[in-house]
Amino acid sequence: MSKRRLFIDNEHKRNIIRKYRKKIERFVSLDPKTGTFNFRYFEHNFYKEFEFAKNNSNPLSLMIIDIDYFKSVNDAYGFVSGDKVLRQLADLIKTEIRSTDTIIRYGGEEFAIVMPDTNFPRAHNIAENIINKVSGETFGDYKAKIKITVSIGLCSYPKEDVSTSKDIITKAEQALSLSKEKGGNNVYVFPYKIIRDENGKKHEIIELSVENKKEQKLTFKDKKSLMEFVNALANTVKAKDYYTQEHSELMSKVAVELARRLGMPDAEIETIKLGAMLHDLGKIGINESILLKPGKLTNEEYELVKQHPQIGAEIVRTVHALKDTLPLILYHHERFDGSGYLKGLKAEEIPIGARIIGIADVYQALRSDRPYRKSYSKEEALEIIKEGSGKQFDPKLVDALLELAKNKYV
């Protein structure tokens, strides 16, 4: 074989190697769930993008998008549906950005958008369009129709105090934190919030920095408004099933007493009270003929009833002030031995608030008249609760309930 032929063959091999190396590099830079670039790609390339903008006096914007309360989507519908929502959101975002922009899977439920040659006004308009479009879409599929909202943090270069790629990332993350802190479904530009007046004119409202901002406690007026809202939600159930509303009011008192007996902090007790009042909210999605049926439910009817925790959680999922009640609503039918629903959680896997609501729910139900039976006496109800210790109920909560009953608190 001639040297010339050997040279050509070697050059051909090098071209093949270069070609497949690029393919491999692209492959390892992609997120398999969404088809977007991954964080590894972002780490390797954003510095170059920023330096190019800085050296050429070009604008550059970075947007970080986070799905509000995404954990509740996975909890209520499962990870398969959660992954589908991520893919669908990525596809939606792609329709709102240019081919020169880059979308990155930035974290579990976060995406970053790198926008070269994009100044702040244009980037902010795109962020607003994404917010509005996401709010108007339904995600998932025919089995699970899911509504979501997103929070967006935005930072654009050139900007005061932004001189490195790290600065712009930090500012965008801080803006996102502020948006999440304010309840989500909004765009924040650190340290500003952009709002529009009734004439459509933009205004900038200066906010406290995230690092120095202390958590705001609800004022008396805020708490009063929240309770009015919770009562309004609870009354929607009353319109379908008077028993359910009356039961929720009574069992919330039992749940609060149990939480106090355990020495839980006031804030957690308040969350348990709200969760107890709303635990059966999802029954507004169940037909009255099933809820009020005097006889035993069929298997099909029971499967429908088992959906009410998921329906209730979906109703309150985007209400920021009620976010801590979500696991209580979702998991109050889990059992200590793992035989309950929705997820088959057991023992300490079940949030303590859900365990409290679960036992209070059953105790109060036993003490009440139902369409298919008369109420049990206090002694009979407590005996049934004791039989469920370690199986349906947390043994320490059974002991606490028995102690409360002995002292006539319940």
Each residue of 223-232: pLDDT tens digit? 666 766 777 7
Domain count, the chain: 2
* pLDDT band at 13; cut points 50, 70, 90: low
Pairwise CA distance, residues 128 & 247, whole Å = 43
Check which CATH number belongs to the domain holding 179 and give it.
3.30.70.270
The owner of tokens 């920021």 is 320
**pLDDT value at position 211?**
38
**Whether 187 and 229 share a structural domain:** no
Read off φ and ψ for residue 195, nearest 5 degrees: -130, 165
The DSSP annotation for 16-82 comes to HHHHHHHHHHHHHTB-TTTSSB-HHHHHHHHHHHHHHHHHTT--EEEEEEEETTHHHHHHHH-HHHH
Pairwise CA distance, residues 58 & 254, whole Å = 63
Q: What mean pLDDT do residues 14-24 have?
A: 54
pLDDT at 299 over 80: yes
**Whether 159 and 284 share a structural domain:** no
Domain boundaries, position 302: 220-406
**pLDDT value at position 214?**
38
**Whether 101 and 182 share a structural domain:** yes
**Whether 192 and 278 share a structural domain:** no
Segment holding 155, helix H or strand E:
strand 150-157
* pLDDT band at 335; cut points 50, 70, 90: very high
**pLDDT value at position 268?**
94
**Nearest CA among 191, 153, 170, 193 for reference residue 68:** 153
Pairwise CA distance, residues 259 & 328, whole Å = 13
Identify the burial level of 375 via C-beta atoms within 10 angstroms of its C-beta, where 0-12 means exposed, 13-18 middle and 19 or more buried: middle
**Whether 186 and 54 share a structural domain:** yes
**pLDDT value at position 160?**
67
